[in-house]
């Protein structure tokens, strides 16, 4: 079954992207694969003595955030799996999309420009790049699109 791949990192766009993923899955009857990248660039930028600790803490955080997403899917009656990959966000996402034969990939955009991985139009450029590399359509979910958001 083709899956809906939903990349999340718990930031401002996370609720929007999770909701969009659940809507997609609900309409198509597909399951959702929630994806968290354990971004090694953050690890590399930290001082050497902290590499292991930063990696472990990132993984811990990823597990918690994906568990939140998985439970949300469960409550919505949607099948969901979680995956944590270690490496550069872009590279790992492309590899995952190729491996899973995903039908669609969803990315969450931050509300402002405060995000550290994405910023300004970086999310659009990333989406285009991933789509080009994998052939999988990439959609962007924005927090502003949700009811109740500012």
Partner 1 sequence: MFETFARILMQEEAEIFLRFEIAVVILLSIAALVAILARRLRHMPYTVALVLAGLALTFFSPDLLSLGENTGEIILLILVPPLVFEATLHIKWQALRRDLGPILLLATAGSLLGAVIVAGLITWTLGVPLVAAFTFGSLIAATDPVAVISFFRSLGVSRRLALLVEGESLFNDGVAIVLFTVALGTAEAVHLGVADAFRLDAAVVDFVRVAFGGLFVGVALGYLVSYVILKNVDDHLVETGTTVALAFGAFVVAEQFHLSGILAVVAAGIFVGNVGSQNTSPTTKLTLDNFWEFLAFTANSIVFLLIGLQTEIDDLIAGIDRIVVAIAAVLLSRAVVVYGLTALHGRLQPGREVPRPFRHVMFWGGLRGAISLALAFKLTEQPDIFGPRLTADILVLTFGVVLFTLLAQATTLTPLLSRLGLTQQPARYETMQRQQALLLARQAGKSELDRLYEQGLLADEVWRAMSSVAAADINDTSRQLLHHLHTYSELKQEMVLEARAEMLKAERTAVGEAARRGVVSDEIAEELFREIDNRAAALALLRERFGGGA
For partner 1, the binding residues in 23-42 under the rule CB under 8 A are: 42
Torsion of CA 20, 21, 26, 32, to 10 degrees: 180
For partner 1, the binding residues in 108-127 under the rule CB under 8 A are: 114, 116
- The CB-of-1 to partner 1 minimum distance in angstroms stands at 27
**148/1 Cα distance (integer angstroms):** 33
Give the chain's radius of gyration (CA, Å): 15
Ramachandran angles phi, psi of 147, nearest 5°: -65, 140
140 binding partner 1? (CB under 8 A) = no
- The CB-of-14 to partner 1 minimum distance in angstroms stands at 4
48 binding partner 1? (CB under 8 A) = no
61 binding partner 1? (CB under 8 A) = yes
Residues in the interface with partner 1 (CB under 8 A) total: 32
Q: Going by C-beta distance under 8 Å and a sequence separation of 6 or more, which residues neighbour residue 85?
A: 35, 36, 37, 38, 92, 95, 96
**81/34 Cα distance (integer angstroms):** 6
Ramachandran angles phi, psi of 128, nearest 5°: -65, -40
53 binding partner 1? (CB under 8 A) = yes
Task: Give the residue, chosen from 29, 77, 135, 148, that forms a contact with partner 1 under the rule CB under 8 A.
Answer: 148
Binding residues for partner 1 (CB under 8 A): 9-16, 18, 42, 45-47, 49-50, 52-54, 56-58, 60-61, 64-65, 68, 114, 116, 143, 146, 148-149
């Amino acid at each position: 079954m083709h899956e809906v791949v939903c990349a999340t990192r718990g930031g401002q766009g996370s609720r929007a992207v999770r909701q969009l993923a659940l809507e997609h899955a609900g309409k198509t009857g597909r399951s959702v694969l929630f994806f968290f990248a354990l971004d090694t660039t953050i690890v590399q930028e930290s001082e050497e003595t902290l590499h292991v600790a930063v990696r472990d803490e990132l993984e811990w955080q990823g597990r918690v955030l994906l568990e939140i997403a998985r439970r949300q899917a469960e409550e919505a009656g949607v099948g969901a799996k979680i995956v944590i990959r270690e490496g550069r966000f872009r590279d790992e996402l492309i590899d995952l999309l190729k491996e899973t034969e995903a039908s669609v990939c969803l990315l969450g955009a931050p509300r402002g420009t405060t995000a550290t991985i994405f910023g300004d139009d970086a999310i659009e450029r990333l989406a285009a790049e991933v789509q080009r590399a994998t052939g999988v359509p990439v959609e962007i979910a924005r927090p502003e699109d949700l009811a109740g958001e500012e």
